[in-house]
Chain A
């Protein structure tokens, strides 16, 4: 009898229907997806990502930006930058997207219990951190201080601005936002987000920091936190590399000895301290 081989679920996209599209800021939009067939829930850990496939166009890694306690809705926030993501911007309710995942490591939500939490995000980097924010707020009493620092290019590029306002209005959460370029009626901070580190206060010895954004911002963020006494094993970053398979076969996502698709995308700084400063690695 002839032997055939069946590809595992991790290698074949499953069709999902676009349930809702929201334009967040000019080039960024959020897709709410649900399975085209069946009622399967999408369980994931904050910080994980999916490979999103557009029929015949291509496939890209996109973090999950929804609430881990609401697995009925699979939520992704995408910035339109190139071929695949620009085509995704044209999706409408009822369109179909292929989904493989979830993949990768996650933010240390459980390990961080008892500690102060500092979240530092730049641009669309807030999206992969939003599930962590939801998870922490869902059991807020288990953490110390909770600080969210966010940087955007300009006031009109502030992602999830209404949510940021809502979180800011909570007495148990400190939110501060900065922009690179002030426009119009902006009276807030101007400058890089790493300049906000320290706002809201934290007990450096008992702080877990989570950073996502442009790589340069991550670098400054880590150095500033170390400077302020945060332990290197308590600093977590989420990294981006080219990804073709997401399951450790294609080699594209390598960063030193790591496969970012399975050892990352979330790394504790300790894991990567020896390669972090090496350029073009």
Chain B
């Protein structure tokens, strides 16, 4: 557990009722609360207003190309790993109108979108997903230009992290240095521990905004045993992680752009783009210009796009990345290698979603290992 800063109050212990107090305080403060919620057999992010919307007792089973939710029957609210999608869609929506234009004589006048920026409280952000938000921050505010819509949504968001106390089988946060304990960037952090039927939640305040909400929570001050028990639960999650990414993945890929494994994996890859859709850091988007039927108004839309489509790299005369091998290579080298050159970090946080949701079970950690193990030596 991170040591509390000098201004951070001591952690508190709350129960389910205390969490409802938190949710009410957030809603009262003008936040839309987003949290994991059981919908159609999947624990997915959704708007909630009550602690009863959280998937009490639910656990998930994730494997390469496999996902199931089980009812464990207990009272734990956070006893599962990653949701199919991360928080990206709230900060960077899958589809968004950037502006409209009205025809005016021979020309046009831009009408900017003036929709109010939503104010989100993200409840239950996992360590890997918090790191993914940090990565998106660097993408959309990179010094040379900032995307104001993203920045505004992000500035308004309150983040309530949850330390993982159970790792999924596709998780590999430990080797990416991203989890299972929530790192910097959260306003509040929860750890669920203790009795299965009525677990306790340890709450830490980690920012001025977090301390403001914390002050209204009530509960009791955490004792040394509580902190110890919570720490032990998180440490246990770390030992449950079975998958690992090679530490030198960036360098391995950089020197193996022409490795034969790219063609091999392309024989399995369907090019379905699931991996890019579920990845919490994939940011590529497309732009489409449209007009209404009369031509009186035009609009520019931005939509999520994927490097797995062949149009993605189209230039006159044909796409640059014609083969499936080159498209798979683009996705994986971007995540693990080229991201360092672009943003000074890896683009992968080890959440394992691309492994779980790949219909043919391609495993990014395994792919790196295959290349590493069959390298022709340094070039």
**Which A positions have Cβ atoms within 8 angstroms of B?**
2-8, 10-13, 15, 17, 36, 53, 55-59, 81-82, 94-96, 98, 240-242, 244-245, 247-252, 254, 256-259, 262, 274-275, 278-281
Contacts and interface: CB of A to CB of B under 8 A. Distances in A.
Q: Which applies to chain B's interface (DSSP): helix, strand, loop or mixed?
A: mixed
B117 A3 contact: yes
Nearest to A258: B341
A88 B112 CA distance: 25
Given A59-B289, A245-B287, A257-B342, A7 B326 contact: no
A250 B98 contact: no
The 7 closest A-B pairs by CB, nearest first: A257-B341, A96-B107, A56-B291, A251-B284, A2-B116, A280-B326, A257-B338
B289 A4 contact: no
Nearest to B298: A56
A254 B338 contact: yes
Contacts of A58: 289
B289 A11 contact: no
Contacts of B117: 2-5
Contacts of B337: 257
B93 to A, nearest CB: 13
Q: Which applies to chain A's interface (DSSP): helix, strand, loop or mixed?
A: loop
A199 to B, nearest CB: 28
Nearest to A240: B315
Given A250-B284, A250-B286, A280-B320, A4 B114 contact: yes
Contact of A247 (B145, B334, B340): B145
11 contacts: A2-B116, A3-B152, A4-B117, A8-B145, A10-B145, A55-B291, A242-B313, A245-B285, A247-B145, A249-B145, A256-B333
A275 B298 contact: no
Contacts of B146: 8
Interface stretch (B120-128, B136-144, B160-168): B136-144
A7 B289 contact: no
Nearest to B151: A5
Contacts of A256: 333, 338, 341
Interface residues of B, number: 64
Given A245-B287, A280-B321, A281-B326, A252 B313 contact: yes
Contacts of B295: 56
Contacts of A11: 98, 147
B107 A242 contact: no
A1 B321 CA distance: 47
A27 B156 CA distance: 50
Contacts of A96: 106-108
B312 interface: yes
Given A53-B289, A250-B285, 12 more contacts: A2-B116, A2-B117, A11-B147, A55-B103, A81-B316, A95-B106, A241-B315, A245-B287, A249-B139, A262-B144, A279-B326, A281-B320
A87 to B, nearest CB: 11
Contact of B108 (A98, A278, A281): A98
Listed residue (B149, B286, B320, B341) with the most chain A CB atoms within 10 angstroms of its CB: B320
Contacts of B107: 15, 17, 36, 55, 96
B108 A4 contact: no
B115 A4 contact: yes
B196 interface: no
B305 A250 contact: yes
Nearest to B311: A242
B322 A280 contact: yes
Contact of B315 (A15, A242, A257): A242
Interface in B148-180: 148-149, 151-152, 156
Contacts of B119: 3
Contacts of A279: 326
Contacts of B156: 3
A251 B283 contact: yes
A59 B287 contact: yes
B307 interface: yes
Contacts of A280: 320-323, 325-326
A280 B324 CA distance: 10
A280 B313 CA distance: 9
Nearest to A2: B116
A120 to B, nearest CB: 20
B289 A57 contact: yes
Contacts of A252: 284, 286, 305, 312-313
Given A58-B289, A249-B140, A281-B326, A5 B148 contact: yes
Listed residue (A5, A247, A258, A274) with the most chain B CB atoms within 10 angstroms of its CB: A5
B20 interface: no
A262 B140 CA distance: 14
A11 B148 CA distance: 10
B90 interface: no
A7 B312 contact: no
Interface in B62-79: none
Interface string B275-315: 00000000111110111000100100010010100001111
Listed residue (A95, A251, A256, A278) with the most chain B CB atoms within 10 angstroms of its CB: A251
